A and B are shown apart, each in its own frame.
Chain A
């Protein structure tokens, strides 16, 4: 079992303008093998929430439980993929993928078996010994996902991983990710502002409100698995999308209004 729970997580910052409530008592439980997506307007604190889940940021209140036990430090049990790829430019693609295994002092033969498998799966064949500078954006992100998966984390945290990619690459990446998920059945917490991406990938969607960030709605995505590209044009998909678009639109309007109301 690999479950991650965020319990009553709140986040406050003190700035020169005073206190900012970034997150307000958020509770999310991602059970074993679920693909959960968090969608929300930009600046709603969804990335912060993921940083809290990773243990990279300490929440003002609340706690993070992995399989029931509280954690406050980052660790190999929660792998993370960032929007900016963050591959290590001085390591080859293979050594990037094996980085976590090297930390664990996994024997070389096992490391290689694992990286070979992921290189094949992520369609990085032929680039194992290349430096990241030789890769396209999509390939870089695939390598970064492979690096996180190589470690076999209990939970995979993804912070807008496809946000920097062009629309076509994005779609291909989503299809690859859903295939990979189908294979490994990881517990995933996935943050995005792209509604269709969330519906296509997720079992459940948490829609966040504007600052202070709260979970406004939870939607179950009943699209059958395995997901395929054709589902995007199904009426069921369109229905879900309209629902989420409506909520987010409302929230974005609120955000604009509160910005206008705030004295400069």
Chain B
């Protein structure tokens, strides 16, 4: 008898318990509701832990005992990759490759931005500029930057110019259209107010239109900078004397998966650093922007 009572109790939860469970569901599974900050941090770390765990699992499952060294494994363990990274930095001059890649990306990206931002602003504000530039840019945008590599090698050889041009092509055509949209979205009333306050057209452009676009332009730069890395590595993979892409290619020839993975992770970290630099600059330069999300 008493046994029966306890079983029914454990099977059907008490109303208070049910309520608590429901509140857990509403806390975590209501669309768009924010969850506690600590949970966000824990989940973020957990994401990494799970990836590394799966990686380790695959490494152990594919382990081939015929090889003498760990680094010969086709799927090396995370710690093997960490050792490889230290070796690359200390003995293989990997930081030099990182330096080359960083130089190329900064130069190529800057050259693209210097043209794309002003042109995009003009296209977004003057119909006459847009009508001329938009159709060809729209068409070229769908031609993959990497497809230009053979042509550029023919035209420019294997030097730095070819690398910078590829990044330029990859960034410019995307960025210019993004900036155009930003410029186009500046509310007309913002400009109209300035006219009724006695501003000339040039003043409205300089004092209202340009500042109104700045925060979003920096956002667009941040996004396209991420894409620039892709084009750079592709360019370096095809032909380069130095750079992370070149390092990866050499590592592949020597069957060094550990070094390839270490190099890829390095790119990821570099990307995260540039991204947070942009985010930091955005917060510093535009404290007045209303935050859309945290």
Give me the interface of A with B, judged by CB distance under 8 Å: 54-56, 74-76, 78-80, 82, 84, 86, 88-90, 99-100, 103-104, 131-133, 144, 147-148, 151, 153, 157
> In the complex the two chains form, is A103's CB within 8 Å of B199's CB?
yes
Q: Which size class do B's interface residues fall under?
A: 20 to 34
Query: Given the known A-B contacts A86-B187, A88-B211, A131-B287, are A56 and B192 also in contact in the complex, defined by CB atoms under 8 Å?
Result: yes
C-alpha gap A94/B286 in the complex (Å): 18
C-alpha gap A147/B189 in the complex (Å): 14
Query: Given the known A-B contacts A86-B187, A89-B290, A133-B288, are A103 and B203 also in contact in the complex, defined by CB atoms under 8 Å?
Result: yes
> In the complex the two chains form, is B289's CB within 8 Å of A88's CB?
no
B196 CB contact (under 8 Å) in A56, A90, A133: A56
C-alpha gap A167/B214 in the complex (Å): 35
> In the complex the two chains form, is B198's CB within 8 Å of A100's CB?
yes
Q: Which residues of A contact B194 (CB under 8 A)?
A: 99
> In the complex the two chains form, is A133's CB within 8 Å of B198's CB?
no
Q: Which residues of B contact A147 (CB under 8 A)?
A: 193, 197
C-alpha gap A132/B290 in the complex (Å): 9
Q: Which residues of B contact A56 (CB under 8 A)?
A: 192, 195-196
Whether a CB of chain A sits under 8 angstroms from the CB of B13 is: no
> In the complex the two chains form, is B196's CB within 8 Å of A79's CB?
yes
Whether a CB of chain A sits under 8 angstroms from the CB of B208 is: yes
> In the complex the two chains form, is B288's CB within 8 Å of A100's CB?
no
Whether a CB of chain A sits under 8 angstroms from the CB of B60 is: no
> In the complex the two chains form, is A82's CB within 8 Å of B197's CB?
no
Residue of A nearest to B288 (CB): A131
Smallest distance from the beta carbon of A113 to chain B beta carbons, Å?
18
Q: Is the interface of B mostly helix, strand, loop or mixed?
A: helix
Q: What are 30 A-B pairs with beta-carbon distances under 8 A?
A: A54-B192, A54-B195, A56-B192, A56-B195, A56-B196, A75-B195, A75-B196, A75-B198, A76-B196, A76-B197, A78-B196, A79-B196, A80-B193, A80-B196, A82-B193, A84-B187, A88-B211, A88-B212, A89-B288, A90-B214, A90-B288, A103-B198, A104-B198, A132-B288, A133-B288, A133-B290, A147-B193, A148-B196, A148-B197, A153-B196
C-alpha gap A44/B29 in the complex (Å): 47
Give me the interface of B with A, judged by CB distance under 8 Å: 187, 189-190, 192-199, 203, 208, 211-212, 214, 286-290
Query: Given the known A-B contacts A54-B192, A84-B187, are A100 and B286 also in contact in the complex, defined by CB atoms under 8 Å?
Result: no
> In the complex the two chains form, is B197's CB within 8 Å of A90's CB?
no
Smallest distance from the beta carbon of B132 to chain A beta carbons, Å?
24
